[in-house]
Amino acid sequence: MADYDSARRGVLKGAAAATAFAAISKAAAQQRSDTDPRELNGQPVPEPPAERSAGPIRPGRGSMLSDKVAVVTGAARGIGRAIAVEMAANGADVVAIDIAGPVSTASNAVPATPEELDETVRQIRSYGRRGEAIKADVRDIAALRAAADAIEQTFGRIDIVVADAAIQRWVPLLEMQDADWRDVIDNNLNGTANTVRAFAPKMVARKKGRFILLSSMQGKHGTKDASSYSASKWGILGLMKSAAMELGEHNITVNALIPGLVDTALTRYEKRLSESIGETGRKDEQPSPQQAWDIRAPTVPLKVGWLQPDDISPAAVFLASDAANMVTGAEYEVTGGDSAKDI
Ligand SMILES: NC(=O)c1ccc[n+]([C@@H]2O[C@H](COP(=O)([O-])OP(=O)(O)OC[C@H]3O[C@@H](n4cnc5c(N)ncnc54)[C@H](O)[C@@H]3O)[C@@H](O)[C@H]2O)c1
Protein backbone atom coordinates (compact mmCIF):
# COMPACT_ATOMS: atom_id res chain seq x y z
CA MET A 1 0.00 0.00 0.00
CA ALA A 2 2.86 2.40 0.84
CA ASP A 3 4.40 1.83 -2.61
CA TYR A 4 1.05 2.38 -4.21
CA ASP A 5 0.53 5.70 -2.42
CA SER A 6 4.03 6.97 -3.12
CA ALA A 7 3.65 6.06 -6.78
CA ARG A 8 0.48 8.17 -6.95
CA ARG A 9 2.20 11.09 -5.23
CA GLY A 10 4.98 10.72 -7.80
CA VAL A 11 2.45 11.11 -10.60
CA LEU A 12 1.14 14.32 -9.08
CA LYS A 13 4.65 15.72 -8.54
CA GLY A 14 5.34 14.81 -12.14
CA ALA A 15 2.34 16.87 -13.18
CA ALA A 16 3.70 19.92 -11.32
CA ALA A 17 7.05 19.50 -13.03
CA ALA A 18 5.28 19.25 -16.37
CA THR A 19 3.62 22.64 -15.72
CA ALA A 20 7.00 24.27 -15.29
CA PHE A 21 8.39 22.49 -18.33
CA ALA A 22 5.38 23.47 -20.40
CA ALA A 23 5.91 27.14 -19.50
CA ILE A 24 9.62 27.02 -20.35
CA SER A 25 9.16 25.27 -23.65
CA LYS A 26 6.02 27.12 -24.76
CA ALA A 27 7.89 29.42 -27.12
CA ALA A 28 9.72 26.51 -28.68
CA ALA A 29 6.55 24.55 -29.27
CA GLN A 30 4.26 27.02 -31.03
CA GLN A 31 4.55 25.23 -34.37
CA ARG A 32 3.07 21.95 -35.44
CA SER A 33 5.60 19.16 -35.52
CA ASP A 34 5.06 18.16 -39.12
CA THR A 35 6.46 20.09 -42.06
CA ASP A 36 3.72 19.00 -44.45
CA PRO A 37 3.31 21.68 -47.17
CA ARG A 38 -0.49 21.11 -46.99
CA GLU A 39 -1.30 21.28 -50.64
CA LEU A 40 -2.72 19.03 -53.32
CA ASN A 41 -1.86 19.61 -56.96
CA GLY A 42 -0.84 23.18 -56.14
CA GLN A 43 -4.08 23.88 -54.27
CA PRO A 44 -3.95 24.64 -50.52
CA VAL A 45 -5.49 22.04 -48.17
CA PRO A 46 -7.64 23.88 -45.58
CA GLU A 47 -6.65 23.83 -41.92
CA PRO A 48 -9.06 24.31 -39.02
CA PRO A 49 -9.04 27.47 -36.90
CA ALA A 50 -6.94 27.17 -33.72
CA GLU A 51 -9.91 26.46 -31.44
CA ARG A 52 -10.97 23.54 -33.67
CA SER A 53 -7.71 21.70 -33.33
CA ALA A 54 -5.72 20.11 -30.53
CA GLY A 55 -2.86 22.41 -31.60
CA PRO A 56 0.87 21.81 -31.58
CA ILE A 57 2.63 19.27 -29.39
CA ARG A 58 3.43 20.56 -25.88
CA PRO A 59 4.70 18.65 -22.86
CA GLY A 60 1.90 17.81 -20.46
CA ARG A 61 -0.88 19.20 -22.64
CA GLY A 62 -3.08 16.16 -22.00
CA SER A 63 -2.90 16.65 -18.25
CA MET A 64 -2.85 20.43 -17.82
CA LEU A 65 -5.98 22.34 -16.84
CA SER A 66 -4.21 25.55 -15.80
CA ASP A 67 -6.66 28.16 -14.54
CA LYS A 68 -9.72 26.37 -15.90
CA VAL A 69 -12.90 26.31 -13.81
CA ALA A 70 -14.46 22.89 -13.33
CA VAL A 71 -17.75 21.82 -11.78
CA VAL A 72 -18.17 18.21 -10.64
CA THR A 73 -21.49 16.74 -9.45
CA GLY A 74 -21.45 13.77 -7.09
CA ALA A 75 -18.14 15.07 -5.78
CA ALA A 76 -18.54 14.28 -2.06
CA ARG A 77 -16.78 10.95 -2.48
CA GLY A 78 -15.79 8.14 -4.83
CA ILE A 79 -15.08 8.78 -8.50
CA GLY A 80 -16.53 12.32 -8.38
CA ARG A 81 -14.14 13.30 -5.59
CA ALA A 82 -11.17 11.75 -7.42
CA ILE A 83 -12.03 13.71 -10.58
CA ALA A 84 -12.48 16.97 -8.64
CA VAL A 85 -9.18 16.56 -6.79
CA GLU A 86 -7.22 15.35 -9.83
CA MET A 87 -8.46 18.36 -11.81
CA ALA A 88 -7.26 20.64 -8.98
CA ALA A 89 -3.92 18.80 -8.92
CA ASN A 90 -3.62 19.66 -12.61
CA GLY A 91 -4.34 23.38 -12.23
CA ALA A 92 -8.14 23.82 -12.18
CA ASP A 93 -10.34 25.64 -9.68
CA VAL A 94 -13.15 23.25 -8.79
CA VAL A 95 -16.70 23.54 -7.49
CA ALA A 96 -17.89 20.31 -5.89
CA ILE A 97 -21.66 19.72 -6.02
CA ASP A 98 -23.35 16.95 -4.06
CA ILE A 99 -26.63 16.26 -2.30
CA ALA A 100 -24.53 15.09 0.69
CA GLY A 101 -27.46 13.22 2.16
CA PRO A 102 -30.09 10.56 1.36
CA VAL A 103 -31.18 10.34 -2.31
CA SER A 104 -33.88 7.66 -2.48
CA THR A 105 -35.04 4.37 -0.99
CA ALA A 106 -33.92 3.00 -4.36
CA SER A 107 -30.25 3.36 -3.53
CA ASN A 108 -28.15 0.52 -2.19
CA ALA A 109 -25.36 2.82 -0.98
CA VAL A 110 -25.12 4.61 2.36
CA PRO A 111 -25.75 8.34 1.82
CA ALA A 112 -22.81 10.72 1.42
CA THR A 113 -22.37 13.31 4.18
CA PRO A 114 -21.66 17.07 4.35
CA GLU A 115 -18.35 16.16 6.05
CA GLU A 116 -17.32 14.14 3.00
CA LEU A 117 -18.17 17.07 0.73
CA ASP A 118 -16.07 19.36 2.95
CA GLU A 119 -13.20 16.87 2.73
CA THR A 120 -13.31 17.03 -1.07
CA VAL A 121 -12.98 20.82 -0.88
CA ARG A 122 -10.10 20.47 1.60
CA GLN A 123 -8.29 18.17 -0.85
CA ILE A 124 -8.92 20.55 -3.79
CA ARG A 125 -7.46 23.45 -1.79
CA SER A 126 -4.46 21.38 -0.74
CA TYR A 127 -3.25 21.76 -4.34
CA GLY A 128 -3.38 25.55 -4.01
CA ARG A 129 -6.52 25.90 -6.12
CA ARG A 130 -9.84 27.53 -5.29
CA GLY A 131 -12.44 25.03 -4.16
CA GLU A 132 -16.06 25.51 -3.12
CA ALA A 133 -18.87 23.16 -2.17
CA ILE A 134 -22.50 23.52 -3.21
CA LYS A 135 -25.07 21.25 -1.60
CA ALA A 136 -27.62 20.61 -4.35
CA ASP A 137 -29.76 17.84 -5.81
CA VAL A 138 -29.21 17.22 -9.55
CA ARG A 139 -32.93 16.36 -9.87
CA ASP A 140 -33.64 20.05 -9.16
CA ILE A 141 -32.81 21.95 -12.36
CA ALA A 142 -33.67 25.31 -10.75
CA ALA A 143 -31.00 24.63 -8.10
CA LEU A 144 -28.47 23.74 -10.82
CA ARG A 145 -29.28 26.91 -12.80
CA ALA A 146 -28.83 28.97 -9.61
CA ALA A 147 -25.51 27.17 -9.02
CA ALA A 148 -24.39 27.94 -12.60
CA ASP A 149 -25.18 31.65 -12.10
CA ALA A 150 -23.41 31.75 -8.73
CA ILE A 151 -20.30 29.94 -10.01
CA GLU A 152 -20.03 32.19 -13.06
CA GLN A 153 -20.26 35.24 -10.82
CA THR A 154 -17.68 33.99 -8.33
CA PHE A 155 -15.23 32.26 -10.69
CA GLY A 156 -15.80 34.31 -13.87
CA ARG A 157 -16.58 31.37 -16.15
CA ILE A 158 -17.27 27.64 -16.34
CA ASP A 159 -14.96 25.60 -18.58
CA ILE A 160 -15.66 22.01 -17.55
CA VAL A 161 -18.72 20.21 -16.16
CA VAL A 162 -18.53 16.60 -15.00
CA ALA A 163 -21.93 14.92 -14.41
CA ASP A 164 -21.05 12.12 -12.00
CA ALA A 165 -23.93 11.99 -9.46
CA ALA A 166 -25.79 8.69 -9.52
CA ILE A 167 -27.33 5.91 -7.46
CA GLN A 168 -27.47 2.17 -8.10
CA ARG A 169 -30.22 -0.35 -7.41
CA TRP A 170 -29.97 -4.13 -7.44
CA VAL A 171 -33.44 -5.69 -7.61
CA PRO A 172 -35.04 -8.08 -10.11
CA LEU A 173 -37.71 -6.62 -12.43
CA LEU A 174 -40.32 -8.97 -10.95
CA GLU A 175 -39.69 -7.68 -7.43
CA MET A 176 -39.39 -3.96 -8.18
CA GLN A 177 -41.21 -1.23 -6.32
CA ASP A 178 -42.14 1.75 -8.52
CA ALA A 179 -39.35 3.80 -6.95
CA ASP A 180 -36.75 1.18 -7.93
CA TRP A 181 -37.33 2.07 -11.56
CA ARG A 182 -38.54 5.67 -11.41
CA ASP A 183 -36.05 7.10 -8.91
CA VAL A 184 -33.00 5.54 -10.57
CA ILE A 185 -33.98 6.90 -14.00
CA ASP A 186 -34.95 10.26 -12.51
CA ASN A 187 -31.76 10.62 -10.52
CA ASN A 188 -29.23 9.24 -13.00
CA LEU A 189 -30.62 10.07 -16.45
CA ASN A 190 -32.83 13.09 -15.75
CA GLY A 191 -30.27 14.43 -13.26
CA THR A 192 -27.51 14.18 -15.88
CA ALA A 193 -29.72 15.86 -18.51
CA ASN A 194 -30.54 18.60 -15.98
CA THR A 195 -26.82 19.14 -15.45
CA VAL A 196 -26.18 19.52 -19.19
CA ARG A 197 -29.22 21.76 -19.69
CA ALA A 198 -28.39 24.00 -16.71
CA PHE A 199 -24.73 24.59 -17.58
CA ALA A 200 -24.72 24.48 -21.42
CA PRO A 201 -26.02 28.06 -21.85
CA LYS A 202 -23.00 29.40 -19.96
CA MET A 203 -20.65 27.55 -22.31
CA VAL A 204 -22.60 28.50 -25.45
CA ALA A 205 -22.26 32.17 -24.46
CA ARG A 206 -18.46 31.73 -24.31
CA LYS A 207 -18.26 29.45 -27.36
CA LYS A 208 -16.20 26.90 -25.43
CA GLY A 209 -16.79 24.12 -22.97
CA ARG A 210 -16.45 20.52 -21.93
CA PHE A 211 -19.01 18.06 -20.63
CA ILE A 212 -17.95 14.69 -19.26
CA LEU A 213 -20.84 12.38 -18.40
CA LEU A 214 -20.34 9.28 -16.25
CA SER A 215 -21.83 6.18 -17.85
CA SER A 216 -20.80 2.60 -17.06
CA MET A 217 -20.02 -0.73 -18.67
CA GLN A 218 -23.54 -1.51 -17.43
CA GLY A 219 -24.62 1.14 -19.95
CA LYS A 220 -23.19 -0.99 -22.75
CA HIS A 221 -24.77 -4.36 -21.93
CA GLY A 222 -27.71 -5.68 -19.95
CA THR A 223 -27.38 -6.19 -16.20
CA LYS A 224 -29.37 -8.97 -14.59
CA ASP A 225 -31.18 -7.62 -11.51
CA ALA A 226 -30.06 -4.01 -12.10
CA SER A 227 -32.16 -3.01 -15.12
CA SER A 228 -33.03 0.52 -14.00
CA TYR A 229 -29.36 1.38 -13.41
CA SER A 230 -28.35 -0.23 -16.70
CA ALA A 231 -31.10 1.63 -18.59
CA SER A 232 -30.10 4.94 -16.99
CA LYS A 233 -26.49 4.46 -18.08
CA TRP A 234 -27.48 3.45 -21.65
CA GLY A 235 -29.64 6.59 -21.69
CA ILE A 236 -26.68 8.73 -20.70
CA LEU A 237 -24.81 7.49 -23.80
CA GLY A 238 -27.76 8.55 -26.00
CA LEU A 239 -27.83 11.93 -24.26
CA MET A 240 -24.06 12.32 -24.66
CA LYS A 241 -24.07 11.59 -28.39
CA SER A 242 -27.10 13.83 -29.04
CA ALA A 243 -25.64 16.69 -26.99
CA ALA A 244 -22.32 16.32 -28.85
CA MET A 245 -24.18 16.75 -32.15
CA GLU A 246 -26.09 19.82 -30.94
CA LEU A 247 -23.35 21.59 -29.02
CA GLY A 248 -20.42 20.98 -31.39
CA GLU A 249 -21.19 24.12 -33.39
CA HIS A 250 -20.67 26.08 -30.15
CA ASN A 251 -17.22 24.52 -29.70
CA ILE A 252 -18.45 22.42 -26.76
CA THR A 253 -17.39 18.79 -26.48
CA VAL A 254 -19.50 16.11 -24.79
CA ASN A 255 -18.01 12.73 -23.94
CA ALA A 256 -18.77 9.78 -21.69
CA LEU A 257 -16.38 8.29 -19.19
CA ILE A 258 -17.03 4.59 -18.64
CA PRO A 259 -15.48 3.05 -15.54
CA GLY A 260 -15.27 -0.68 -14.97
CA LEU A 261 -16.00 -1.94 -11.47
CA VAL A 262 -14.54 0.56 -8.99
CA ASP A 263 -14.40 0.16 -5.21
CA THR A 264 -16.57 2.99 -3.83
CA ALA A 265 -19.55 3.35 -1.49
CA LEU A 266 -21.71 2.72 -4.58
CA THR A 267 -20.35 -0.82 -4.90
CA ARG A 268 -18.99 -1.76 -1.46
CA TYR A 269 -21.79 -3.94 -0.10
CA GLU A 270 -22.41 -7.68 0.00
CA LYS A 271 -24.95 -7.92 -2.84
CA ARG A 272 -22.54 -6.11 -5.19
CA LEU A 273 -19.68 -8.43 -4.22
CA SER A 274 -21.75 -11.52 -4.99
CA GLU A 275 -23.00 -9.93 -8.26
CA SER A 276 -19.44 -9.07 -9.29
CA ILE A 277 -18.33 -12.68 -9.02
CA GLY A 278 -21.66 -13.86 -10.50
CA GLU A 279 -20.35 -12.41 -13.78
CA THR A 280 -17.60 -15.06 -13.60
CA GLY A 281 -20.14 -17.88 -13.36
CA ARG A 282 -19.50 -18.52 -9.62
CA LYS A 283 -22.48 -18.53 -7.31
CA ASP A 284 -20.87 -18.15 -3.84
CA GLU A 285 -23.63 -16.60 -1.75
CA GLN A 286 -21.67 -14.14 0.38
CA PRO A 287 -18.00 -13.94 -0.51
CA SER A 288 -15.68 -11.88 1.69
CA PRO A 289 -14.08 -8.93 -0.13
CA GLN A 290 -10.85 -10.95 -0.45
CA GLN A 291 -12.72 -13.99 -1.88
CA ALA A 292 -14.53 -11.75 -4.37
CA TRP A 293 -11.21 -10.19 -5.45
CA ASP A 294 -9.54 -13.60 -5.77
CA ILE A 295 -12.37 -15.00 -7.91
CA ARG A 296 -12.80 -11.95 -10.12
CA ALA A 297 -9.21 -10.77 -10.68
CA PRO A 298 -8.11 -13.72 -12.89
CA THR A 299 -11.00 -12.93 -15.27
CA VAL A 300 -9.89 -9.32 -15.81
CA PRO A 301 -7.07 -8.78 -18.35
CA LEU A 302 -5.08 -6.56 -15.96
CA LYS A 303 -5.76 -8.99 -13.06
CA VAL A 304 -7.50 -6.71 -10.57
CA GLY A 305 -10.74 -7.48 -8.77
CA TRP A 306 -11.73 -3.85 -9.13
CA LEU A 307 -10.26 -0.45 -9.87
CA GLN A 308 -9.73 2.57 -7.59
CA PRO A 309 -11.42 5.99 -8.10
CA ASP A 310 -8.10 7.61 -8.96
CA ASP A 311 -7.60 5.10 -11.78
CA ILE A 312 -10.56 6.79 -13.50
CA SER A 313 -9.81 10.48 -12.89
CA PRO A 314 -6.76 10.88 -15.21
CA ALA A 315 -8.98 10.09 -18.20
CA ALA A 316 -11.38 12.85 -17.11
CA VAL A 317 -8.46 15.28 -16.94
CA PHE A 318 -7.44 14.37 -20.50
CA LEU A 319 -10.99 14.79 -21.82
CA ALA A 320 -11.15 18.23 -20.15
CA SER A 321 -7.76 19.35 -21.49
CA ASP A 322 -7.00 21.32 -24.64
CA ALA A 323 -5.35 18.19 -26.03
CA ALA A 324 -8.87 16.71 -26.34
CA ASN A 325 -10.19 19.67 -28.40
CA MET A 326 -11.25 17.32 -31.20
CA VAL A 327 -12.67 14.51 -29.05
CA THR A 328 -16.46 14.59 -28.81
CA GLY A 329 -19.38 12.17 -28.92
CA ALA A 330 -17.03 9.48 -27.66
CA GLU A 331 -16.96 6.83 -24.96
CA TYR A 332 -13.78 6.59 -22.93
CA GLU A 333 -13.43 3.30 -21.03
CA VAL A 334 -11.18 2.69 -18.01
CA THR A 335 -11.90 -0.89 -17.00
CA GLY A 336 -8.69 -2.79 -16.32
CA GLY A 337 -9.45 -4.69 -19.50
CA ASP A 338 -13.12 -5.65 -19.10
CA SER A 339 -13.63 -3.52 -22.24
CA ALA A 340 -11.89 -6.23 -24.24
CA LYS A 341 -14.86 -8.53 -23.64
CA ASP A 342 -17.51 -6.09 -24.92
CA ILE A 343 -18.13 -4.50 -28.27
N1 LIG B 1 -18.17 2.48 -8.71
C2 LIG B 1 -18.29 1.84 -9.85
O3 LIG B 1 -17.98 0.65 -9.97
C4 LIG B 1 -18.82 2.56 -11.06
C5 LIG B 1 -18.70 1.89 -12.29
C6 LIG B 1 -19.20 2.51 -13.43
C7 LIG B 1 -19.76 3.77 -13.34
N8 LIG B 1 -19.84 4.40 -12.13
C9 LIG B 1 -20.45 5.74 -12.11
O10 LIG B 1 -19.52 6.66 -11.55
C11 LIG B 1 -20.24 7.69 -10.89
C12 LIG B 1 -19.74 7.83 -9.46
O13 LIG B 1 -19.97 6.61 -8.78
P14 LIG B 1 -19.26 6.26 -7.40
O15 LIG B 1 -18.97 4.81 -7.47
O16 LIG B 1 -18.19 7.22 -7.10
O17 LIG B 1 -20.50 6.44 -6.40
P18 LIG B 1 -20.62 7.12 -4.94
O19 LIG B 1 -21.91 6.63 -4.37
O20 LIG B 1 -19.39 6.90 -4.15
O21 LIG B 1 -20.71 8.67 -5.30
C22 LIG B 1 -21.84 9.20 -5.93
C23 LIG B 1 -22.08 10.58 -5.36
O24 LIG B 1 -23.20 11.14 -6.08
C25 LIG B 1 -24.00 11.83 -5.13
N26 LIG B 1 -25.37 11.93 -5.65
C27 LIG B 1 -26.21 10.93 -5.96
N28 LIG B 1 -27.39 11.43 -6.34
C29 LIG B 1 -27.29 12.77 -6.26
C30 LIG B 1 -28.19 13.83 -6.52
N31 LIG B 1 -29.46 13.61 -6.89
N32 LIG B 1 -27.75 15.09 -6.41
C33 LIG B 1 -26.48 15.34 -6.00
N34 LIG B 1 -25.60 14.38 -5.70
C35 LIG B 1 -26.02 13.11 -5.83
C36 LIG B 1 -23.91 10.99 -3.87
O37 LIG B 1 -24.29 11.75 -2.71
C38 LIG B 1 -22.45 10.55 -3.88
O39 LIG B 1 -21.64 11.44 -3.16
C40 LIG B 1 -21.72 7.32 -11.00
O41 LIG B 1 -22.27 7.98 -12.12
C42 LIG B 1 -21.67 5.83 -11.25
O43 LIG B 1 -22.83 5.37 -11.91
C44 LIG B 1 -19.37 3.83 -10.99
Question: Are both 272 and 169 inside the same structural domain?
Answer: no
Better-predicted residue by pLDDT, 250 or 16? 250
Atom of ligand 1 nearest to the CA of 78: 16
Which residues fall within 8 angstroms of residue 252, CB to CB, at 6 or more apart? 200, 203, 204, 208, 209, 210, 211
Asked if residue 32 belongs to a domain, the reply is no
The pLDDT of 122-127, averaged and rounded, is 98
What is the pLDDT, as a whole number, of residue 163? 99
Question: Are both 230 and 293 inside the same structural domain?
Answer: no
Say how far apart CA 313 and CA 72 lie, in whole Å: 12
Asked if residue 40 belongs to a domain, the reply is no
Helix or strand or coil: residue 278?
Answer: helix
Question: Are both 133 and 152 inside the same structural domain?
Answer: yes
Question: Are both 154 and 200 inside the same structural domain?
Answer: yes
Say how far apart CA 221 and CA 284 lie, in whole Å: 23
Asked if residue 13 belongs to a domain, the reply is no
pLDDT for 254 beyond 60:
yes
Asked if residue 33 belongs to a domain, the reply is no
Quick one: what percent of the chain has pLDDT higher than 70? 90
98 lines ligand 1 (CB under 6 A): yes
- Which of 4, 127, 229, 269 is labelled catalytic? 229
What is the pLDDT, as a whole number, of residue 183? 98
Distance 163 CA to ligand 1 centre (A): 9
Find the domain containing 173 and state its range: 59-262+308-337
What is the pLDDT, as a whole number, of residue 15? 45
Dump pLDDT digits (tens) for 294-313: 999 999 999 999 999 999 99
β-pairing, 209-214 vs 160-163, is parallel
pLDDT for 7 beyond 80:
no
Question: Are both 244 and 285 inside the same structural domain?
Answer: no
Residue nearest to atom 26 of ligand 1 (CA): 165
Instruction: Look up residue 264 and give its amino acid.
Output: T
Residue 125 contacts residue 175 (beta carbons within 8 Å)? no
Number of domains in the chain: 2
What is the pLDDT, as a whole number, of residue 30? 53
Q: Which of 13-17, 28-32, 225-229, 260-264 has the lowest mean pLDDT?
A: 13-17
269 catalytic? Reply is no
Dump pLDDT digits (tens) for 39-91: 999 999 988 888 889 988 888 988 999 999 999 999 999 999 999 999 999 99
167 lines ligand 1 (CB under 6 A): yes
Which residues fall within 8 angstroms of residue 103, CB to CB, at 6 or more apart? 111, 137, 167, 183, 187
Dump pLDDT digits (tens) for 9-45: 333 444 444 444 444 444 444 567 777 888 999 999 9
